[in-house]
Each structure stands twice: as structure tokens, then as C-alpha cells.
């Protein structure tokens, strides 16, 4: 299938050149997996989108409207697809100062499901450390439209290098996240993930994994992690809402058998949750 999109509820692939999302990255977005017309963690995605709009101080269009437009766009699509919902502050005058009471723009698009050439969930991935550093920001945790740090990080390697994801640090050399994923590690049967108080994206799948782990008496910890912590972990995996969980098979000269015992358990718990929950569009 080719990409399809709605702009403010109408079939379109165009926005104004004065849209503030285009001019200044003034907006937020969610990328969501749709499997057999079932959307896993829909309400969690909507809650994060709503919260992000509140932080950026523009109007959230409402869950009902977005759900209706998603249903309209998906139509009779039956195959697995990737859904993206983008909200911008809308059209404004030139200059950084937001226009009061601007009407936000809604851009909803559906894209082909991206199949990896290998089964990364089963065979694992190769991870590298990126030179690009994430800046500390009061916008930490939000999935806003400013993704230049991730763009430059992914430009550091090519597909033929055999690298599937890059690890990103902040300027204090703390591990924060992957270029498109959140990072987890296991040490002494404790599931650990980096503190995102000052940088990074608080992923919906990250939250889900932590909640599921805690509900099954798995010890969890959010803390500042270093590269040495990753190097000496018992298991490492990366995750987001679209790819699910990818175990890390190699980082630098360090290797792990994949998927590890804890990773396998988490994968099974998430799979079980996916089959029992989510909304059908």
C-alpha cells in the first residue's frame, strides 16, 4: 500500500508553508502499530498526546475526534500498518511567538508495515554508541517534532554496517535511549531502564513493560546508567510501540545469547497483554 493521510479530517497530503510544525517543530506526534485493525495501548498513546499538548499549551482535539478520523482513514485496510498522528499548533505568523487561540492542525497518516530482513525479535540486533549527544531539556519525556538529534545520530552509520540501532547518551555520558527506542538492561535479575528526567522520550511501550514487570513481581529500577552498566549487563534489549522488543546480541565487543531469560519472559508477558487488550478500529 502507499501512504495515505488525512489533514483535519480530509484526504490530503499537504499543509500550509506557514504551519508552525513545519517552521519550528511546534507540535507533537505518536507512532502506533495497528495489527489486524487492533490498536494496542491506544488510550495510553492518547493520554501522552493530550499531556504533550498541555505542556506545549495548545488545544488537544479530543480522543473521540481522533479515533473517528483514524477509523475513517483505515477504512477497509486489513493488513498490519503503522499509524502516525501528528498535531501542530497550526498556521501562524512568522516569528517564534505563538498566535493566541490558533487552531491546531491534525495530520493522520497510515504507512506500510516495515518488515526487517531478519527476525530481530528472535535473532537480536547489533547496537552501537552514537557520537551525537542528547541535550538536557525541560521538554524531556515528550515526543515533540524536534528530532534533529536522532536524525544526526542515525546518519552516523549505514545499513551495510550491520548496525540496527544506536545508543544515545547525554552530555554527562549517561545512557538515555536508542535513536528510535527505549533501552532496558537486566542485571542480577533486576530490570533496569535509564532515568529520563532530563532527556529522552518516555515511550509508551517503556511504560507498559515497567507496569507489566511490576505486576508480575519482577524487580524494576529506573536509574542513571553508564556505558559500563550496559557492557556488563546480563541482558540488553530495546523497544518501542511498533517494533515491540529487540534483544541486543552485540554491543562493541560484548555479546549476549538472545533472547535472554528475562527478555523472553517480558516478551511473553507483552504478547499475552496484546492479545487481551487494545481497541479494534
Catalytic residue list contains 273: no
Among candidate residues 69, 165, 177, 235, the one labeled active-site is 177
- CA 162, CA 94: separation in Å to the nearest integer? 43
Among candidate residues 143, 165, 181, 193, the one labeled active-site is 143
Q: What backbone torsions phi and psi does residue 13 show, to the nearest 5 degrees?
A: -125, 25
CA-to-CA separations, 103 to 37, 68, 85, 90, 162, in angstroms, rounded: 30, 19, 16, 6, 44
Residue written as cell 513493560? 209
- If DSSP codes are grouped into helix, strand and coil, which group holds residue 94? coil
- CA 32, CA 54: separation in Å to the nearest integer? 21
Catalytic residue list contains 31: yes
Q: DSSP assignment, residue 135?
A: P
- CA 138, CA 142: separation in Å to the nearest integer? 9
Among candidate residues 31, 88, 181, 193, the one labeled active-site is 31
**Active site (catalytic) residues:** 31, 143, 177
Amino acid at each position: 500500500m502507499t501512504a495515505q493521510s488525512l489533514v483535519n479530517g480530509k484526504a490530503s497530503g499537504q499543509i500550509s508553508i506557514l504551519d508552525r510544525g513545519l517552521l519550528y517543530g511546534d507540535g507533537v506526534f505518536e507512532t502506533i502499530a495497528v495489527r489486524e485493525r487492533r490498536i494496542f495501548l491506544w488510550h495510553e498513546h492518547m493520554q501522552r498526546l493530550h499531556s504533550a499538548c498541555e505542556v506545549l499549551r495548545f488545544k488537544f482535539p479530543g480522543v473521540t475526534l481522533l479515533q473517528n478520523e483514524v477509523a475513517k482513514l483505515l477504512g477497509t485496510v486489513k493488513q498490519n500498518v503503522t499509524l502516525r498522528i501528528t498535531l501542530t499548533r497550526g498556521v501562524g505568523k512568522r516569528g517564534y511567538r505563538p498566535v493566541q487561540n490558533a487552531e491546531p492542525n491534525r495530520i493522520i497518516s497510515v504507512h506500510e508495515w516495515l518488515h526487517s530482513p531478519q527476525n530481530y525479535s528472535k535473532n537480536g540486533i547489533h547496537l552501537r554508541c552514537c557520537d551525537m549527544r542528547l541535550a538536557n531539556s525541560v521538554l524531556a519525556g515528550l515526543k515533540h517534532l524536534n528530532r534533529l538529534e536522532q536524525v544526526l545520530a542515525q546518519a552516523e552509520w549505514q545499513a551495510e554496517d550491520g548496525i540496527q540501532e544506536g545508543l544515545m547518551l547525554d552530555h554527562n555520558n549517561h545512557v538515555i535511549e536508542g535513536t528510535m527506542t527505549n533501552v532496558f538492561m537486566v542485571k542480577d535479575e533486576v530490570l533496569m531502564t535509564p532515568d529520563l528526567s532530563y532527556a529522552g522520550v518516555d515511550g509508551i511501550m517503556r511504560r507498559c513493560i515497567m507496569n507489566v514487570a511490576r505486576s508480575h513481581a519482577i524487580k524494576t529500577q529506573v536509574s542513571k546508567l553508564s556505558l559500563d552498566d550496559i557492557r556488563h549487563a546480563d541482558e540488553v534489549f530495546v523497544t518501542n510501540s511498533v517494533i515491540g522488543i529487540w534483544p541486543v546480541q552485540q554491543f562493541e565487543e560484548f555479546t549476549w545469547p538472545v533472547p535472554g531469560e528475562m527478555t523472553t519472559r517480558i516478551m511473553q508477558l507483552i504478547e499475552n497483554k496484546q492479545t487481551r487488550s487494545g481497541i479494534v478500529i
